[in-house]
Amino acid sequence: MIRHATPADVPEIHRMIRELAEYEKALEEARASEEQLHEALFGERPAAFAHIAETADGEIAGYSLWFLNFSTWRGVHGIYLEDLYVRPGLRGGGYGKALLAELARICVERGYERLEWSVLDWNLSAIEFYKSLGAVSMSEWTVNRLTDDALVRLGTTE
């Protein structure tokens, strides 16, 4: 079952974010607090949205966390999937596909023309899973990021 996340889910989503960061070998980079997550998802002006995948017994199997982007080429919004995570013991049970299908449904319903995300190049099982759904790797595009000292330096340059 896929459902919208609620404020009561924040502690569990926070735990899964940390599990995902550990899986991606970047736990030290996962610095967001539960309070920040709650504000981002359920504050006065939400910056992101989340869905929860549950087992038939009501156990939380995984989550998706996403936000809207905009394509200047298409002229409409799209969804950028920041996180897709299914707990290791429950992978292969259709939860990841169901979470992605829900986001695709939202795109179709709202007239959004893109559902996009990033995947680590060493995560071959995820890459193969995404390919099986018809996803296309954007191999000509490279992600760029400014953080920490580089961001501050550029942001304080006159």
CA distance 30 to 150: 19
Name the catalytic one among 63, 85, 112, 130. 130
Which residues, at least 6 apart from 65, have a Cβ–Cβ distance to it below 8 Å? 13, 17, 41, 48, 49, 50, 81, 82, 83
76 C-beta neighbours (distance < 10 Å), count: 13
Question: Edge to edge, what strands does the sheet with 60-71 contain?
Answer: 2-4, 49-54, 60-71, 76-86, 115-117
Give the residue among 34, 1, 35, 39 at the shortest CA–CA distance from 16: 34
Cα–Cα distance measured from residue 50 to residue 81, given in angstroms and rounded to the nearest whole number? 10
Q: Say whether 80 is catalytic.
A: no
> Which active-site residues does the annotation give?
130
